[in-house]
Each structure stands twice: as C-alpha cells, then as structure tokens.
A and B are shown apart, each in its own frame.
Chain A
Amino acid sequence: MVDIVPLSSYPSYIDLLPSIQTCNITNLPENYFLKYYLYHALTWPQLSFVAVVRPKNGYSKTTAPDGSKSLVEQYPKVVGYVLAKMEEEPTDGMQHGHITSLSVMRTHRRLGIAERLMRMSQRAMAESHRASYVSLHVRMSNIAALRLYRDTLGFKVEDVESKYYADGEDAYAMRMDLTPMWMDWAAIERKDRERAQSDDKDADEGEEVGELGKKETEQEQEKMVKVKVGRGLGVGDLVEKNEATQGSS
C-alpha cells in the first residue's frame, strides 16, 4: 500500500532524503545534490510530499523523545515524491509555487500517486504561502505527464521553452491558478480582533488591532522584501547555481 506523507512538516519524514534522491536518479535525467533537496525541505517544509510503501514488520531503531518507537523513523520504500518550492524572485511580482521535480517509480504507476502528490503540494502552496498559481515544466514528448497536468489537474500551457532540457528537448511551461484554495486571512484577523477584545476590555487596544488588519497587504509586502534580503547568502546561492546547470523538471 502506498501512503502519501509530508517530507519535512509534521510528522517529519526527512530521514527519507537519501531514498528520495535515489528515486529521482533512478527515474529521471535531471538530478540534484542532496543539499538541494535539503534546501527545499528546510525552506518550504510544507510543500514537498513523498509516496512510501511501509515495511510490514519494519524495524524501528530509534525511539521518539517520549520513549515510544516511532513509525516515522523506520525506513519505508520510496516509490515517488514531489519536490516543490516557492519562486523566490518572481519576475511578474506574483507569489507563486513551482514544481522542481516529480516522479513515480515505473512499477507503481496507474495508482494515481502523481496526481495525489501534486494535489497535496498545490493545496499547501495556496494555504501556507498564498501562492497565486503553480508553474512547472514538462518535456514535450512526455504525453503521460502532459495528460496528468492538463486533463486531470487543470494546468494550462503558458509557453514553450526552446531547448529547456540538457539533451536539447523543448519544454512546455505550464501553470494553474491556485487562488480558489486560499485561506480567508481576513476572517482570521477578525478572529484575532475578537479575541483581543474579549481578552482585553480596553477599547484602544481593539482599535489598534483593527488598524493592523487593514494594513495587511502593505505589511505583507514589507515582509516579502525582508525575506528576499535574508536569502542570497549561503545555501541559497550554492544550490540555486546547481539547479541552473541541471535544469529542473
């Protein structure tokens, strides 16, 4: 049985990284250092998912801090994964997600695993990061993948990128709208205000919070700038370069 689980959120399956890397290099020509997977897992821990077959009587070597044997720390077999991120410097200024790599072992096709992985990732992009859309590249010859993205999931072809892949093949650049899955942040901030009011009878306090709510978009932008400045040092630099030469899928 194939389970779909998060890579590095709760519970964490980050122990599977070497197996995910192996799944990738077994299936696809576009490969990455382990550090590039780490970079995804630690920058956008909500977005990547793994398809695993759990060992029936799997061994559990480590115990959780509370002493219980943890299922998560067994080594299940990885039969698929989706590695996803948020575009860090979107040229169109719109927050959006990007599928770095997706693959399912040939032996585990026709179970709808790729579709499920994609849906989980898309939902997280919308819920956690308020992504406007998700983009990806697909080989023009990859009919099965094209069918999944376009017919099953509802992606649209945005563009053709000539010679996108290292072997000279062209890619479709595809994307899909994610705004319908956004969370209602205004409602959340209303709840904030209500709580503040009930917690604290001081009218001024409530006022202040209310003002904060209105400024939401402004503040959000400010925050985005901060994130950008924070990036660019260390890991980001190092692994981005690798992606550029390797090409992503």
Chain B
Amino acid sequence: MPQQLNSKDAALFRQVVRHYENKQHKKGIKVAEQVLKKNPKHGDTLAMKALIISQLGQQEEAFTLAKEALKNDMKSHICWHVYGLLYRAEKNYEEAIKAYRFALRIEPDSPTIQRDLALLQMQMRDYQGYIQSRTAMLQARPGFRQNWTALAIAHHLSGDLEEAEKVLTTYEETLKNPPPVADMEHSEAVLYKNMIMAESGNLDKALEHLEQVGYRCTDVLAVLEMKADYLLRLGRNAEAEAAYTTLLDRNSENSIYYDALIRAKGIAKDDHKTLKAVYDSWVEKCPRGDAPRRIPLDFLEGDEFKQAADVYLQRMLKKGVPSLFANIKALYSNPSKRDTVQDLVEGYVAGKAGAQSNGSAESQTNGENNDFLASSHYFLAQHYNYHLSRNLSKAMENVDKALALSPNAVEYQMTKARIFKHYGDLQKAADAMEEARTFDVKDRYINSKAAKYQLRNNENDKALENMSKFTRNETVGGALGDLHEMQCVWYLTEDGEAYLRQKKLGLALKRFHAVYNIFETWQEDQFDFHSFSLRKGMIRAYVDMVRWEDRLREHPFYTRLAVAAIKAYLLLNDQPDLAHGPMPAGTNGDAVDDAERKKAVKKAKKGQQRLEKIEADKREARKAASPTAKGADGEAKKEDPDPLGNKLVQTEDPLKEATKFLTYLLESSPDSIEVQCLGFEVNLRRNKYALALKCLSAAHAIDAAHPTLHVQILRFRKALDNLSEPLPAQVAEVVNAEFEALLPKAQKLEEWNQTFMSTHKDSAAHTQAGLTCRQILNKESKPQCEKDLVATLDSSDVSMETALAGVELLEQWGSDQAAKSAYAQKASSKWPESTVFNLD
C-alpha cells in the first residue's frame, strides 16, 4: 500500500498536484519540500517533485529523485507513472511503456495512466498493445464515440480490417436517428468506414455503401473522388465517365482526371483524333485552362503535333508564361518533337509568327510584338541550356537578346545564371543570380535562388547575408538561428554540402545533424495528434498522416541529407586530420613526409582558432544587440555552445555516427544504387562483411553494370583475401556462397575487368571504374592508367561532372602533380569557360 500521510500533509500533497497541473512549478516545489521536511521518504511527494523539476528542464536531478521515490515506495502507481513520464520526456518510449505498465498494474482503473500508455503504444506502433488499451478504455467509457473510433483505428492499422469495420458498425447501430448534417465527426466516421471497406478490396460493397451515405457527407469533393475511383476500378465505365466529368467540371486542372476519363471512355491510345476531340471539348468549356491544351502534345505526332505545338507555343509566349519551357521540356525525350519545337520558336524570332496561328493573324502593336519576341528568345535560351538540346553559346546569345528587350526581367537573368552554371563557372553563375536578385529585392524567391547559387560557389557567409534579408534576425543565433527554427531544410542541406566541399567537416556535420534533428522533430510531431485527431474526428486524414510518418524518411530531402552526412563521416574516417580543419590537397597521400603533415595540421588548427574567435565575437555582438532573444514559441533559448561543430568532428567513432544516418537510409531508400554503394563503404570499413555484401547484392540487383559497384566488387574480393583474422566459419560460408554470384572465385580478375572495360568502352564513367580496378590489380599500371584517364576526356559524351570525378580519382590513386596537371589542362581546354578544373 502507498505510504500514508496525516490529513494536513495529505492536503498539502494535493496542493502539490494542483500546482503541477496549473504549471505553478515554483509553488509546487515549495509545498512539496514542506511535506518532505516531515516525511522525507514519502514516495509520492518525491515523485511529484521530480516531475516538476523535470518540467523546469533539470532532467538529471529529476531522474535521481524519481528513482529515490521508487526505492521508497515500489507499490505506488504515482511513482511508476512519474518514472514513465520522465522517460517519455527524454523520448525513451520503450522504458516509458514499461513504467506505465507497472503503474497500471497497481492502479488498473486510472484513466490517465491508461491514456498515457495508449498514446505511447500508438507512437511506437505497438498495435497489439494499443488494441488492448483501447478495448479497456472503451469498456470504461462506452458512451463516447471517439472511444469506438479509436478501437477501430487500432484494429485497422494492425491489419484487421474486418474487426475495424465491425466496431464502427456497432457504434452506428446505437444511433437511433441520423445525426444532423453538420455533425462532421459523424460524417467523417462514415467515410472512414467506407475507406476501410475499399481497402479490404470489396469495392462493390464500398460503392454501395457510398451511394447509401455519401449524399449527406460534408466532404463533398472526397465523396465524388471516391465514387469516381471505385467506378473506374470496377470497370463501370459509363458511370465512371460521368463521375470524372463532374470532377473535371469542378477542377479542370488535374491530369489524373483526364487519364481516368479517357480510360472510362475506352478510347484507344493511338486514336489521336478522338483523343484530341475530347481535350478540345474541355478547352471550349474551360478556355483559360492549361491541361486540355497541353496534354495532346504528349500523344500527337508529326504534322498534327507541329500544328498543335505551334498554337500552344504562340499562345503561351504571347501571355509571357514563364513556366512554358518547364512545361514543354518533357516532350524532348522524343527527338523529333524536340526539333519541331526548336524550329517553330526559331521561326518566331525570325519573324515567322502569327500567320499559322489558327489562321487568324491579328495585327500586333509594337509593344506586344516586343514582349512576344523577348519571350521567344527567353524560351530558346532555356531550350539551348537544357541537357537534351544543349548549345550553350546559342543559349547565351538568346538570353542576351531577351534581356536587351526586357532588361529587368528576373526570370531572364536567372536563366543567364543557369547558363553560366552549365559552363562550369560557378562564380559568374553566382554573380549573375545576385544581379537577378537586385532586380526585385522584395521578392524572397529570387533572394533564395541567389543564396543557393552562392552556396554552390562555396560562399557560405555571403549566402547567409542574403538570407538574413528575410529572416527574423532577433531570434537566438540570428538569421541562422531563424533558419534552424523554421526548419529550412533546403538551406541547411546546401550550406552543409558547401562546407563538405571545402572539407570544413565540423560545420558540415553541424548542418547535417541539424537537418537530421528536424526529421526527428517531424516524427515526434505526430504524438499530440494521437489524441487531438480523435477529438476533432478527422480520422481519414489522421490515418493517412500515421502512414506517412512511417515513411517520412522516404522524402528526397532525407536521402540527400543522409548521403552527404555519410560522405562527410567517411572522409573523416579516412582522413582523421580533417578534424582540425581543412587540409591542403595532397597532404594525405603516402608520399608526404611526417614533418609536412604536422605543419599542415598546425596551420589547420590555427585557422580553426581564428574561426572560433570570429564566431565568439559575433555572438557577443548579437547579445549586445538584443539581450533577451526568444524563439518563435516564446521561450528564451540558449546560444548553441558548439556553433562550429567541433564536438561532432572530434567523434571517436565516425563510422558509428555514419551508421545512424545509414540505417534510416537503407530502410527508406533501398532502391537507390547510390544508397547501397554508400552502405557498402560504411560496412566494409566497419568490417561487417555480411552487411557489406548485402549492400553489394542489392546494388547488383538494381544495376549490375554500375561503375561504382564494379570497383566495390573487386575491393570486396581483396578484402576477403586479406582478412587479418578469418571470418567465423558460418559467416564465411554464407558470404562466400553469396559472393560467388557476383564474382566467381574461379574468375580471373584481369580478364573480368578487361571484359567490363571493353563492354563499356564508350562510357567515361565505366572506363574510370575499370582503370581504378586495373590499378588495384597491378600497381605498376598507374602511369598507363593516368594516360588512359586523360583519354576519357576525348569521348564526345563525357559530362563535366564525370570529368570532375576524374580529378577525385587521381587524388585517390595518389597521383603526382604532373599527372594531375595534365588531366586538368586537358579538361580545361575541353571546357574553356569552366573554372572547376583550376589547379591551385
């Protein structure tokens, strides 16, 4: 039994609880101490005190105190509940669940403990536990609809759709009359039941149910969408056609509706005439729409295409729609369409426009003609800048003409910056984008672009300076603090990548961890909705949200961030000296003598100290400017004690840190070959041979001839041949058997590599991989490999990115300065405008 207090102290204890509930924490502690003076071992009071001080942010003391409370009173549900709440606060959900379970065993009828347990079970996706909790909660209070709905959700998400539907129906049957139409909770619960029916695959039943109840559901659009979807999937084409026509009447800009309509009408894919007529009828109905005008360009061919494209292009160019090219370029996978578009627009700038357009050549005013011409040159600039139709000098010519006609057009100037980027001149690209920014300084979009181009040019400080024109700079940490607080993922990722390129690993890791933490926050964000959404009754949206959270890190934002972070940790692992700051190129090779290395480290450390001083000064200046900076949630926030990421970069175990990013990455993006190749790099360095091989096999299944994979297969063979101690027999057996499928033991390696190289002799990337392998197999071959690498630059289709990877390769091979210069010179002459091959 819990310890007893005398009636006066018991009253005081109740006060402590009240103070806690009212968030009067200081008062709460004071009263708790009053009780403890006389009853120093009173578990419940100790626990309440622990809970309050944890609210004040002192987690460690809170835990010590909570443990003491438990020691004094193991049989108190309050002590266990508080223990669980503390674990919950530090997000150790598994321990929290255990503690709640103890508390609930002592006090099975406590609705608070039961609720807290249920919420955590949902957060942890412990569906069986959640079903149990929700069943108990329903039994305790069957009068509340949300308790029925919650149990249905529990069954639904656990996969028992039949039971979920049954629970909802049981509640519905208790309703004598249909609730008023305004009862959205009812309306949504009904549609939720319909969603479960459809998911269980019985579309006939779902459709019938929807016909019965749909007319009184408040989410009118959802009912129309569901109905149309079911009808089409059931093959009830005439009705589906009507349903999609209704949807198009409401919103004529949704290509999925058109696709569905065409399917319902049963029009053959090659019956262009009938197809075009359908779209034309929608153009007539919605003359201002884009979709019915644009979609036919996808299927029309030859003259029909040319005619339709002509009408479409002229109309959009006259309107000056800036996204025209973005909307057209998808057609370029078909070279003849690409050329037709090019001929048409080249014709417009040569003065051949107007005559063909619908036969109605209107006379244009000079101003209109000017705009049309500028738009056309702008279109051509983008056209010649696009990788499938690239001709950079023509692109530049056209953008200059467009700018001459319309000197302050932000979009035109943006394209100019993009052309410089493709030339490989990142400085000019950044400068051009900065100029575009000055055309419209109140527009954040162009400001963001300018900052992005500065980051691509490794100008982190300039970029932040630009960003600060739109951030709330009074936030703790200034502009950068605001970007963190507002979860500006794109900026933090680009900033980190720029630091990574400069080998400033501390700052790079700092940013990558910041984005990683934003994803953690997003995952945590769902917690409050487990209870909130039940009160609101918007169950379909809630269930969709829960499912989305389960695949949160499939978002390309995470993939990109994790790839960069892992690369940073691999670099740190391979070159530990980088922990002191960026090192000059060439100080990592074997050839460098120790004294030189020490000198470089010393220099790097000095640079680091200088940075720290600058950072400290900045912080002082901010403090002086606004002494009480607050976050967006109104709470005073502390300055970051490690703004440069020194702590992160000094990690004992970079590979373990990399694994943190990798685990989610492999889970959420297993189909990416880049991800699997990175997984191999991490696991090989950790001597996890089975895991490394798993990545290799996965990569092999995606693209067996991938160049990176080719090198990795060889490196894996070499690693197996040179184990410092043999693998455990069982592991060895599995690994050898599986690896046999990728590279048979009997295979002669030189031959294997030679076959690869001759099969892919026209691909620079594959040749790079083959040369790397040749060097691994025969160190003597280096000079020849270096020459052959230079020769890859002769290939007509080698891209600047691939060529740049060649520079990295020479670094990896430990080539000497002469070899590097030869390569760089050749690359520079191939891309004369580019600055990326500069040797310094």
Decide whether A and B are members of one complex.
yes
A interface with B by C-beta (< 8 Å): 1-6, 8-12, 14-15, 17-19, 21-22, 25-29, 31-35, 38, 41-46, 53-54, 56, 59, 61-62, 65-66, 71, 73, 75, 79, 105-112, 116, 120, 123-124, 127-130, 141, 166, 183, 185, 188-189, 191-192, 196, 208-209, 212, 216, 219-220, 223, 227, 230-231, 233-236, 238, 241-242, 245-246
Contact A191:B182 (CB < 8 A) given known A34-B487, A54-B255:
no
A35 to B410, CA, bound (A): 33
Would you mind naming 29 contact pairs between A and B with Cβ atoms under 8 Å apart?
Answer: A1-B291, A4-B253, A5-B254, A6-B222, A8-B541, A9-B221, A22-B557, A25-B486, A27-B444, A27-B448, A38-B529, A42-B536, A42-B541, A44-B538, A46-B218, A61-B551, A62-B554, A105-B445, A106-B445, A110-B321, A110-B322, A124-B220, A183-B181, A189-B181, A192-B216, A233-B531, A234-B532, A235-B528, A238-B528
Q: Does B586 interact with chain A (Cβ within 8 Å)?
A: no
Report yes or no: B182 in contact with A219, Cβ–Cβ below 8 A: yes
Report yes or no: B548 in contact with A116, Cβ–Cβ below 8 A: no
Report yes or no: B253 in contact with A109, Cβ–Cβ below 8 A: no
Report yes or no: B323 in contact with A108, Cβ–Cβ below 8 A: yes
Residues of A within 8 A of B330 (CB): 56
Interface residues of B in 527-548 (CB under 8 A from A): 528-529, 531-533, 535-536, 538, 540-542, 544-545, 548
**How many of chain B's residues touch chain A, expressed as a range?**
35 or more
Residues of A within 8 A of B349 (CB): none
A66 to B230, CA, bound (A): 13
Partner among A66, A124, A183, A212 whose Cβ is within 8 Å of the Cβ of B199: A66
Partner among B182, B320, B545 whose Cβ is within 8 Å of the Cβ of A14: B545
Q: Does B634 interact with chain A (Cβ within 8 Å)?
A: yes
A34 to B555, CA, bound (A): 14
Residues of B within 8 A of A109 (CB): 321-323
Report yes or no: A219 in contact with B180, Cβ–Cβ below 8 A: yes
A135 to B488, CA, bound (A): 28
A185 to B411, CA, bound (A): 49
Contact A185:B548 (CB < 8 A) given known A33-B487, A106-B446:
no
Report yes or no: B486 in contact with A32, Cβ–Cβ below 8 A: yes
Contact A106:B410 (CB < 8 A) given known A9-B541, A18-B555, A116-B251:
yes
If A9-B540, A61-B671 are given as contacts, then 13 extra A-B residue pairs at C-beta distance below 8 Å, sorted by A number, are A1-B255, A1-B327, A5-B254, A9-B221, A12-B544, A22-B488, A43-B538, A54-B255, A71-B256, A111-B290, A116-B251, A220-B180, A223-B182
Residue of B nearest to A49 (CB): B251
Residues of B within 8 A of A42 (CB): 529, 532-533, 536, 538, 541-542, 545
Q: Does B178 interact with chain A (Cβ within 8 Å)?
A: yes
Q: Does B269 interact with chain A (Cβ within 8 Å)?
A: no
Residue of B177, B319, B330 contacting most chain A CB atoms (<10 Å) = B177
Residue of B nearest to A216 (CB): B180
Residues of A within 8 A of B490 (CB): 22, 25-26
Residues of B within 8 A of A231 (CB): 535
Residues of A within 8 A of B178 (CB): 192, 196, 209
Report yes or no: B225 in contact with A11, Cβ–Cβ below 8 A: yes
Report yes or no: A33 in contact with B486, Cβ–Cβ below 8 A: yes
A44 to B532, CA, bound (A): 13
Residues of B within 8 A of A208 (CB): 176-177
Residue of A nearest to B525 (CB): A35
Contact A12:B220 (CB < 8 A) given known A53-B326, A107-B326:
no
Q: Does B19 interact with chain A (Cβ within 8 Å)?
A: no
A53 to B329, CA, bound (A): 13
A34 to B548, CA, bound (A): 14
Minimum distance in angstroms from B218 CB to a CB of chain A: 5
A160 to B669, CA, bound (A): 50
A141 to B321, CA, bound (A): 23
Q: Does B556 interact with chain A (Cβ within 8 Å)?
A: yes
Q: Does B571 interact with chain A (Cβ within 8 Å)?
A: no
Residues of B within 8 A of A18 (CB): 489, 522, 555, 557
Minimum distance in angstroms from A154 CB to a CB of chain B: 16
Residues of B within 8 A of A130 (CB): 182
Residues of B within 8 A of A10 (CB): 195, 219, 221-222, 225-226, 229, 540
Minimum distance in angstroms from A113 CB to a CB of chain B: 8
Residue of B nearest to A189 (CB): B181
Report yes or no: A2 in contact with B253, Cβ–Cβ below 8 A: yes
Q: What are the nearest 8 A-B pairs in CB distance?
A: A45-B541, A12-B544, A230-B535, A106-B445, A10-B222, A31-B486, A220-B182, A235-B532
Partner among B254, B521, B538, B551 whose Cβ is within 8 Å of the Cβ of A3: B254
Minimum distance in angstroms from B310 CB to a CB of chain A: 19
Q: Does B472 interact with chain A (Cβ within 8 Å)?
A: yes
Residues of A within 8 A of B183 (CB): 223
Minimum distance in angstroms from B601 CB to a CB of chain A: 39
Q: Does B201 interact with chain A (Cβ within 8 Å)?
A: yes
Contact A245:B486 (CB < 8 A) given known A28-B444, A42-B545, A61-B671:
no
Q: Does B443 interact with chain A (Cβ within 8 Å)?
A: yes
Report yes or no: B538 in contact with A45, Cβ–Cβ below 8 A: yes
A73 to B555, CA, bound (A): 10
A242 to B475, CA, bound (A): 13
A10 to B225, CA, bound (A): 7
Q: Does B250 interact with chain A (Cβ within 8 Å)?
A: yes
Residues of A within 8 A of B472 (CB): 166
Residues of B within 8 A of A230 (CB): 535-536
Report yes or no: A188 in contact with B215, Cβ–Cβ below 8 A: yes
Report yes or no: A245 in contact with B632, Cβ–Cβ below 8 A: yes
Residue of B nearest to A3 (CB): B254
A2 to B256, CA, bound (A): 11
Minimum distance in angstroms from A171 CB to a CB of chain B: 15
A28 to B221, CA, bound (A): 29
Report yes or no: B199 in contact with A65, Cβ–Cβ below 8 A: yes
Report yes or no: B444 in contact with A29, Cβ–Cβ below 8 A: yes
A128 to B533, CA, bound (A): 18
Report yes or no: B322 in contact with A107, Cβ–Cβ below 8 A: yes
A11 to B543, CA, bound (A): 12
Contact A14:B541 (CB < 8 A) given known A111-B290, A111-B323, A216-B182:
yes
Residue of A nearest to B180 (CB): A219
Residues of B within 8 A of A45 (CB): 219, 538, 540-541
Residue of B181, B410, B538 contacting most chain A CB atoms (<10 Å) = B181
A93 to B633, CA, bound (A): 28
A111 to B195, CA, bound (A): 34
A105 to B444, CA, bound (A): 10
Residues of B within 8 A of A44 (CB): 538
Residue of A nearest to B669 (CB): A61
Q: Does B299 interact with chain A (Cβ within 8 Å)?
A: no
A225 to B719, CA, bound (A): 70
Q: Does B294 interact with chain A (Cβ within 8 Å)?
A: yes
Interface residues of B in 250-299 (CB under 8 A from A): 250-251, 253-256, 288, 290-291, 294-295
